[in-house]
Structure 1
Amino acid sequence: MTSIMTNAAAMAALQTLRTIDTNLETTQRRVSSGYRVETAADNAGYWSIATTMRSDNAALSTVADALGLGAATVDTAYTALDNVIDVMTQIKAKLVAASEPGVDKEKINEEMKQLKNQLVSSAQSASFSGENWLYNTNPAALGTKQVVSSFVRGADGSVEVTTLNFDTAESVLLDSFDASRGFLTKDIDADALMSTPTGTARNYFLLDISSTTPATGTEIEISMATTDDELSDMISVVEELLGQLTDAASTLGAITSRIEMQDSFVSNLMDVIDKGVGRLVDADMNEESTRLKALQTQQQLGIQALSIANTNAENILTLFK
């Protein structure tokens, strides 16, 4: 039936054209944005996952910055500690040289004073962004320092920031409040270092920085009156300090290595998350460009079909002539 009131062919052509226009708009939006899922309306599930993972990636980026700061702090402490070990080695050599007969112990002591000043300078200079793990000027101990290492999201959606911990009791060289908390300011019993201790304590310390609670032993310094037994005790104490400082440097080195590994892991993890999000929401540009061309052709054909449908209705007028 042909009707001038209802043009079924035109309505069908118009409906088809509307569908084509809707699909064309969607495809053009994907081509221009590069996303298959750009808003929650496109795919609520994938959009929610992508949004959460992008947020986590931003947190991981902050973790990477924190790891860089932590690495710089640890590197600064390690560099200063390495220098301290070198200076301590020289002090040990001076004490051994002082054991030789006829040597001028006063001159050797003057050299040792300069080396001690270098120890203080190294410890005080080991500061990065206000953090100094070798020199404590606070009434309380420095305690455990933390370096942010990762951002973790649990299966239940809970989040947690994990840290690398370092006890500064293993690295403090100087303590201006309590000398016993610093490697170079604390007392060390030379008798306890002997293979057969006598039971009578002979305490020595290396540096006197006028701590509020000072060491009670004898400062390691020499004069012409220093005996061979005293020199032997001092050498034993310095050797013990060298061993403790070497252990501290090893610990810092291990933490540096761990931070480097974690930094590399976080960078790789961020890349993997980006790829995973991309698989969920990114548009396949080859596919979309092909679909765009097809829809543009369909649109032209839809317009042509609508025009034909309207023209057929106009042909009815010829029946009334």
Structure 2
Amino acid sequence: MGSSINTNIAAMTALQALNQTNKETLITQNRVSTGYRVNNASDNAAYWSIATTMRADKSSISTVADALGLGSATAEIASKGIESAIEVAGKIKDKLFAARTPGVDRSKIQSEIKELQESLKAIIEGATFNGQNWLTGDSTDATTTRTLVSSFARASDGSISIGTITVDLDTTRLIDTASGSASGILNTEQTVGSTTFTVLNLDIKALTDDTADLDLIKDMWETVDTAVRDMTDAATALGAIKTRIDIQKDFAQSLMDAIDTGVGQLVDADMNEESTRLQALQVRSQLGVQALSMANQSAQQILRLFQ
């Protein structure tokens, strides 16, 4: 093909190649600077959409994990409260057992029992976390359960489902604050003959060595023993709830890690690959500049033909 001063085909080709190289260099430099192969929808609409949705889901799962952390802490506080209450109630049992011995000073024993009863109340009132106390409350309240968010899932059609864990406070309530007939483990009234009492208000200081009084002390002992067994069952239920909460919390953390990995595989740039490509593009750019320079010099060579 002949040479033309109107159209420099070689220069146009070299310029197109150089422009393409510069465009690819800009893309690679952007990947290196951001760390993302897909940084916006224009890079890859499908991958960007998937990654954006998964990031939003991760944020929701993180919120679930935070809620589970609060639930776990509340269950832990309640469990510790019941464990302490069981220990104190066991000491009341010991005092009542000693009080059945003829001739003992029951008024002094009662003073010790009274302190233990006050300790029980303080323990239960103190078993509070984030304003929640699962050991005391009004049994007539319409909401005698606590519902904890435990999971977040998105189906293939985009619909969302929320999992929950329900805590039945009727099984963990040690003190019922309802007026009238209370149903708490420690303040449910028992009536023996003409005497009505609960674990928290039983009083033996006026009792004698009379057979009926000794039988009453035995009934009080059995009432405390039943309360200890009921509290043990409540502690077991709380332990199972806490275990379930902790399992869900660990799963939520694993799920967030998996989402990070999945999103990374979709949109993260391979820095080794990108750095290698950037070096190659820099060489191509230098060669392109030289090729364009050489193509432009061909016009100068035509001038020599007319000299």
Which band: TM-score by shorter chain?
over 0.9
Give the aligned partner of residue 310 of structure 1. 296
Contact 1:144 1:165 in 2 (8 A): yes
**Cα drift, residue 53 of structure 1:** 0.7
Give the aligned partner of residue 258 of structure 2. 272
Show the 5 A alignment for 1:77-226.
77-136=78-137, 140=141, 142-178=143-179, 179-188=181-190, 204-207=197-200, 219=202, 221-225=204-208
**Cα drift, residue 201 of structure 1:** 11
Kindly indicate whether residue 240 of structure 2 is the aligned counterpart of residue 244 of structure 1: no
**Cα drift, residue 173 of structure 1:** 1.4
Contact 1:50 1:277 in 2 (8 A): yes
Deviates more, 1:149-158 or 1:38-47: 149-158
Give the aligned partner of residue 45 of structure 1. 46
Aligned residues: 302
**Cα drift, residue 204 of structure 1:** 4.3
Query: Which of the pair has the greater relative contact order for Cα pairs under 8 Å at 6+ separation?
Result: 2
CA distance in 1, matches of 2:142, 2:125: 16
**Cα drift, residue 221 of structure 1:** 4.0
Q: SS of 2:305's equivalent?
A: helix
Give the aligned partner of residue 259 of structure 1. 245
**Cα drift, residue 94 of structure 1:** 0.9
Give the aligned partner of residue 290 of structure 1. 276
Please, what TM-score do these two structures have when normalized by structure 1?
0.89
Contact 2:108 2:205 in 1 (8 A): no
Contact 2:77 2:127 in 1 (8 A): yes
Q: SS of 1:276's equivalent?
A: helix
Contact 1:53 1:277 in 2 (8 A): yes
Deviates more, 1:296-305 or 1:220-229: 220-229
Please, what TM-score do these two structures have when normalized by structure 2?
0.92
**Cα drift, residue 205 of structure 1:** 2.0
**Cα drift, residue 176 of structure 1:** 2.3
**Cα drift, residue 180 of structure 1:** 2.3
Q: SS of 2:43's equivalent?
A: coil
**Cα drift, residue 308 of structure 1:** 0.7
Contact 1:76 1:128 in 2 (8 A): yes
Contact 1:136 1:174 in 2 (8 A): yes
**1:136-172 superposed Cα distances (whole Å, 9 cap, x missing partner):** 2686265111222221112221112222110011111
- Give aligned-pair identity as a percent: 47
RMSD of aligned C-alpha atoms?
A: 2.0
**Structure 1: tracts of 5 or more residues without a match:** 191-199, 209-218
**Cα drift, residue 72 of structure 1:** 1.3
Give the aligned partner of residue 212 of structure 1. none
Q: SS of 2:163's equivalent?
A: strand
Q: SS of 2:182's equivalent?
A: helix
Aligned partner of 1:313: which letter? A
Q: SS of 1:127's equivalent?
A: coil
